[in-house]
Amino acid sequence: MKKAIAALFLLLFSFMLISNYGGATIRSTVGDTLSVEKVLIDADGYTLSGVLYVPSDVQPDDPRPAVVCAHGLTNAKETMSGFALEIARRGMVALSLDLAGHGQSGGKLGGGDPSLGVSPALAYLKSLDYVDPERLGLVGHSLGAGAARAASDAQGISAVVLIAGGVDVESGGTGYPPMSATHPPNMLVIIGQLDVLFDVEKIKIDLEDAFNTEVPVVPEMYYGSAADGTARQLLLPSTIHLLEPVEPLIIEKAASWMRQHLQAEGSTPPDPIIVNNILVTANMVALVALIWINFPVAALAQGFLRDKGEKPVSGVLPDLWAFLVWGGLGLLLFLPLSGLGNLIPFPPLRIGSSMAWWLLLSGVGGLIILYIVQKRAPHLALDLIQIIKKSFKLKDVLTAFGMFLLLYTITYIGESYLGVTLTFIIPLFRTLTFRRLSVFPAFIPFFGVFFIAEGLYFHQLRIQKADEPGFKSLIRAIALKVAPYFWLIIVQYGVMIMFERRVFTGMIGFLIEFLWAIIPIFMITIAHSWWFHRITRRIGMGVVFNTLLLSWISAGLFPF
């Protein structure tokens, strides 16, 4: 049995290594046609981080067009790597940028620069002797589209792609230059039909003046002329806000728009988007392997972790409790507490503080409910304090910490030596800068309380069938955990698709979009806590590991 477990560990490690190395090789050379390097850019009092994609045949005597790619809120430069890669494969220089306060860049949101670092990035590109300073382009998604719009009046800008953002016709105090028939120059607007932040029918009307037409804009129709900077087009692909930066059609259209309107000499690659799809697949394989690698490690340590003769606490709560009480509590508090971080900005990361307070108060609420049950149902013989005390042993804590360090070390090696950051739509696991590392401990008490309560509801106190197969038990735990949030998504998007109506719009709809990223994280954490409880018969190891894991994700993801 131990040989089989060790073989599984080696298999997962091999998958991760091969995927990371293969992805790095493709990203670095792409058939020896371009090079990729990390760059640091001086801004006003802070440093910006970016990845520069350069065609290998560039020469100072034949300068190329250059494009800055800017990501959305709670994202990073890796999200826009598909755009940068395809733009570079068409003969242009591309810079995928961590906006101010995001990723590995310094600065913060609301720091006085409405371009969030895009303007300094343009200045950096102009300083390169192989870049034509009169043929510059901007591609931005969501917040990044607004940043691109704010920088769109810079000298040399010849084409702009705004994806689900930056489309306010008037500046309205946003820091954007007013939109007109000539500004931004040669503009492509892309908005997903299922994007909850926009009413696409209203957008068609709002853009009439900018498209120099007196009737609603017709999607896919080409307006104006590239020669005088009045080229315009509106695209409405069938996708949601979160998936717009990874949608192959959007990437291909944006890259082709830049090639055409920056007069790039490079032709469209014979395999457009295929290379990026390979990179995304390799990244996903590596991410899945990394997530699962601790399962065989814990299994190998079972003899050390499980105390002889120790029996698990008898479950007293049915599945319905985990689903309705714990899941319902989290869902009930999700929207009301989404703005609490604005009132109590600690931990000091935008959105991250709201998430921390949401999970903390969910955990506190869950523990209060269990305490009430303990007092009003003495026949259950619950002693929550003793159960929690017995759930944490030094060997559990040390093992969980060691497993967390294993994941972080693997991530560090992949990012530092192979240039690979593991993402699932958004960058989940990444090396923390010193600034972000200093924020990491602030999340621990918030998430610790949450995972203690969750461990009690799902593992320690939930009635479980002794003869239930392990895989079925795991699926049951995952389903109970994420089902309430899936129902909210089904209500939102089911109604939207079937009846073309939106249940939740604006910021509430935008917050629901975050569930597409939150649900996979919850699936990862519940799977780990289920497995660690199965190995140790205690919740402590899962609590410690998941607390560290989610604190790491939060410290690396959310903006300052």
Phi and psi of 458, rounded to 5°? Answer: -95, -25
Q: Which CATH code is given to the segment(s) 2-278?
A: 3.40.50.1820
Quick one: pLDDT at residue 416?
Answer: 80
Those residues with Cβ within 8 angstroms of residue 64's Cβ, 6 or more apart along the chain or in another chain: 55, 58, 91, 92, 93, 130, 131, 132, 135, 264
The bridge status of strand 422-424 relative to strand 426-429 is: antiparallel
Residue positions counted in the chain: 560
Quick one: pLDDT at residue 9?
Answer: 46
Q: From first to last of its 560 residues, what are the pLDDT tens digits of the chain?
A: 455 444 444 444 454 455 444 555 555 555 457 888 999 999 988 999 999 999 988 989 889 999 999 999 999 999 999 999 999 999 999 999 999 999 999 999 988 899 999 999 999 999 999 999 999 999 999 999 999 999 999 999 999 999 999 998 655 556 677 899 999 999 999 999 999 889 999 999 999 999 999 999 999 999 999 999 999 999 999 999 999 999 999 999 999 999 999 987 765 665 655 556 666 666 667 667 777 777 777 777 777 777 776 666 667 888 888 888 999 999 999 989 988 888 999 999 999 999 999 999 999 999 999 999 999 888 887 889 999 999 999 999 999 999 999 989 988 887 887 766 767 677 888 899 999 999 999 999 999 999 999 999 999 999 887 777 778 889 999 999 999 999 888 888 888 878 777 788 777 888 888 898 899 899 999 999 999 999 999 999 999 999 999 999 999 999 99
CATH 3.40.50.1820 residue ranges in the chain?
Answer: 2-278
Q: Tell me how far the alpha carbon of residue 63 is from its chain's centroid.
A: 34
Match 């390097």 to its residue by tokens.
37
Spatial separation of the C-alpha atoms in residues 168 and 179, rounded to whole Å: 8
- Kindly calculate the radius of gyration of the chain based on its CA atoms and give it in whole angstroms: 25
Quick one: pLDDT at residue 25?
Answer: 52
262, 240 contact by CB (below 8 A)? no
**Sign, Cα dihedral of 52, 56, 60, 62:** negative
Quick one: pLDDT at residue 8?
Answer: 47
Beta strands in 377-479 (DSSP E): 422-424, 426-429
